[in-house]
């Protein structure tokens, strides 16, 4: 659907309204309601009143076929799920729409016990769902205690796991340094840099091992046509910072030249201009945890990647670029609105090296062009895909190239291969998987729009 591709590339009021109208005609009522709602929320006050009323009427028509939920969570910033799909952080900006039937709503947040509610939803009904999260009493054996919040009025004490010296940065002069760049430049190996709330200019170049940059509040770091952070050290950590690279020149928002980086609770943006990679470390190890990467050409590219509980969205080329990687481990992550592959594992055109990837409990939504796959497995590379969902791919859901290998279990493909589904004589699951000659594919517990599919299906 060209309108869906256009919306994935540029989310606008008009495209959302037109897409909703098409989905309404096709009987995709939940999708239509979501896009009409988005169109109304983003419609300027100066919009034509007739256009606004027409959109309201169409939204009302779609809502007659779905359930409408107002979801409230007692903890701000909690991740809200409908089923296994993360729909946003609390407080949610709008109502949520669900298909009729049994629906499970849950929420999770750091330092809180997760909670859920299951309810039966009727078409045309509305309901309010309140999720109450309670503080954890202590770390579980499988989960380390969270890094303590550092009180600015306390003595300078390094966060847990970082026994080195601590320095503070404050733009108003109430600290050891007024800029992050100056603090890092003067830091010794193992230093924790606590960054006070405010806006800072990059780039920040980390040339020592074990440097930790930790935001103590809302911290924004921006640059023009150069990386916000350059890492050239082992065991470096970046926590809680929003990073924005502006300008039209190619490059990265975060450049890992050597060593390794843990990026957690960070928001990385390329501002949508130029061929910008969110996190780039072609010869290094990168670990993303609770991170968001958006409005870039590609999301993340590194030799060795671990990605947990993260969100990659609105990307022009590739979500996770593992074409030249050694290995990828990804869990509980959502990749959406990517023009080409959501995940590229090895090269489908040439043998650049063997890549091993394991992807579990992930969602790949609105990724892939009309001739490629939302997930690409290249030559001599292997993928284990478990308990995941691939949805709304224009071309193929999964493409396994010559000599590539994929083992897929307990995974759903939904609305896959739109270009194939235009053919009324095509099988309903055609386009879900493309397997090249000499490629290997093993399927177990896989469905395509509710149809079970096995090898050769």
Contact 300, 307 (CB under 8 A): yes
Of 132-146, 178-192, 326-340, 345-359, the one with minimum mean pLDDT is 132-146
Same domain for 49 and 72?
no
Calculate what percentage of the chain has a pLDDT beyond 90.
Answer: 55
Average pLDDT, the chain: 85
Given phi > 0 = left and psi -120 to 50 = alpha, else beta, which region is 274? left
Quick one: 284 and 251 in the same domain? yes
Burial class (CB in 10 A: 0-12, 13-18, 19+), 317: middle
Where among 46, 62, 78 does a domain terminate?
Answer: 62
Q: Decide if 376 contacts 397 (C-beta within 8 A).
A: no
Q: Say if residue 142's pLDDT is above 50.
A: no
Both 128 and 174 in one domain: the answer is: no
What's the CATH number where 104 sits? 2.60.40.1120
Q: Are residues 86 and 108 in the same domain?
A: yes
Higher pLDDT, 375 or 420: 375
- Domain match, 319 and 431 both: yes
Q: Give one DSSP letter per residue of 110-175, joined into a string.
A: TTEE-EEEEEEE-TT-EEEEEE--EE-SS--TTSPPPPPPPPTTS---PPTT--S-EEEE-TTS-S
Q: What's the pLDDT score for residue 44?
A: 83
Q: Is residue 150 part of a domain?
A: no
Q: Are 349 and 432 part of one and the same domain?
A: yes
Q: Are 157 and 149 in contact (CB under 8 A)?
A: no
C-alpha angle 65/68/362, rounded to 5°?
95
Q: Do 415 and 377 belong together in one domain?
A: yes
> Both 427 and 374 in a single domain?
yes
User: 173: which 2 tokens?
Assistant: 């002069």
- Structural domain harbouring 230: 166-453
What is the pLDDT, as a whole number, of residue 376? 94
pLDDT tens, 352-401?
Answer: 678 999 999 999 999 988 778 899 999 999 999 999 999 988 888 999 99
Summarize pLDDT for 265-314 with one digit per residue, the tens: 999 998 755 668 999 998 899 999 999 999 998 999 999 999 999 999 99
Domain-located, residue 112: yes
**Average pLDDT estimate for 112-132:** 91
Tell which of 35, 62, 89 closes a domain: 62
Residue 442 domain flag: yes
Q: Judge whether residue 68 has pLDDT over 80.
A: yes
Domain count, the chain: 3
Question: Both 14 and 74 in a single domain?
Answer: no
**pTM as predicted:** 0.65
Shared domain check, 222 and 361:
yes
Question: Alpha-carbon distance 238 to 226, whole Å?
Answer: 18
Q: Which residue has the tokens 């009727």?
A: 122
**Per-residue pLDDT tens for 7-50?**
444 557 888 888 889 989 999 999 899 899 988 888 888 888 99
Whether residues 18 and 128 share a domain: the answer is: no
The DSSP code sequence of 256-306 is: EEEEEEEEES-EEE-TT-SSEEEEEEEEEEEEEES-EEEEEEEEEEEEEEE
Q: Is 337 part of a structural domain of the chain?
A: yes
Does any domain span residue 122? yes
Give the pLDDT score at 113: 83
pLDDT band at 179 (very low <50, low <70, confident <90, very high): very high
Whether 195 and 310 share a structural domain: yes
Question: Could you tell me which of 379, 339, 378, 344 has the C-alpha nearest to residue 359?
Answer: 344
Question: What is the C-alpha separation between 98 and 89, in angstroms, rounded?
Answer: 17
How far apart CA 231 and CA 209 sit, in angstroms, is 9
Q: Which range among 112-121, 140-149, 201-210, 417-426 shows the weakest confidence by mean pLDDT?
A: 140-149
Residue 2 confidence class, pLDDT cut points 50, 70, 90? low
The verdict on residue 30 lying in a domain is yes
Domain of 320, CATH number, reads: 2.160.20.10
Strands 412-414 and 433-435: unpaired
């Amino acid at each position: 659907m060209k309108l869906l591709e256009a919306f994935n590339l540029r989310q606008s009021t008009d495209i959302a309204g037109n897409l909703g109208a098409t989905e309404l005609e096709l009987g995709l009522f939940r999708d239509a309601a979501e896009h009409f709602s988005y169109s109304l929320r983003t419609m300027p006050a100066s919009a034509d009143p007739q256009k606004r009323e027409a959109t309201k009427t169409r939204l009302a028509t779609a809502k007659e076929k779905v359930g409408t939920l107002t979801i409230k969570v007692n903890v701000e910033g909690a991740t809200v799920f409908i089923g296994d799909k993360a729909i946003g952080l609390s407080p949610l900006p709008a109502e949520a729409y669900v298909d009729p039937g049994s629906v499970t709503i849950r929420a999770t947040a750091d330092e809180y016990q997760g909670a859920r509610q299951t309810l039966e939803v009727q078409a045309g009904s509305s309901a309010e769902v309140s999720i109450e999260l309670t503080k954890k009493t202590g770390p579980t054996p499988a989960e380390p205690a969270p890094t303590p919040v550092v009180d600015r009025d306390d003595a300078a004490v390094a966060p847990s796991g970082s026994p080195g010296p601590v320095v503070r940065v404050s733009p108003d002069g109430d600290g050891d340094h007024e800029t992050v760049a100056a603090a890092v430049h003067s830091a010794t190996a193992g230093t924790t840099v606590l960054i006070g709330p405010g806006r800072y200019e990059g780039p920040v170049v980390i040339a020592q091992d074990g440097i930790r940059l930790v935001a103590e509040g809302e911290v924004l770091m921006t640059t023009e046509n150069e990386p916000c952070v350059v890492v050239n050290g082992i065991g470096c950590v970046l926590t809680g910072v929003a990073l924005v690279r502006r300008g039209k020149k190619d490059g990265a928002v975060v450049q890992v030249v050597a060593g390794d980086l843990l990026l957690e609770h960070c928001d990385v943006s390329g501002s949508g201009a130029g061929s910008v990679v969110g996190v780039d470390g072609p010869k290094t190890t990168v670990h993303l945890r609770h991170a968001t990467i958006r409005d870039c050409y590609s999301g993340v590219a590194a030799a060795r990647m671990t990605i947990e509980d993260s969100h990659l969205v609105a990307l022009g080329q590739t979500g996770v670029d593992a074409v030249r990687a050694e290995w990828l481990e990804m869990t509980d992550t959502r990749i959406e609105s990517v023009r080409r592959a959501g995940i590229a594992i090895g090269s489908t055109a040439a043998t650049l090296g063997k890549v091993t990837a394991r992807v579990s409990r992930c969602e790949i939504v609105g990724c892939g062009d009309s001739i490629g796959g939302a997930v690409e497995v290249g030559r001599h590379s292997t993928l284990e895909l478990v308990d995941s969902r691939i949805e709304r791919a224009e071309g193929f859901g999964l493409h396994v190239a010559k000599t590539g290998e994929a083992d897929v279990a307990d995974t759903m493909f939904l609305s896959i291969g739109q270009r194939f589904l235009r053919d009324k004589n095509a099988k309903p699951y055609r386009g879900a998987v493309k397997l090249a000659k000499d490629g290997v594919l093993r399927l177990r517990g896989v469905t395509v729009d509710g149809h079970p599919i096995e090898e050769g299906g």
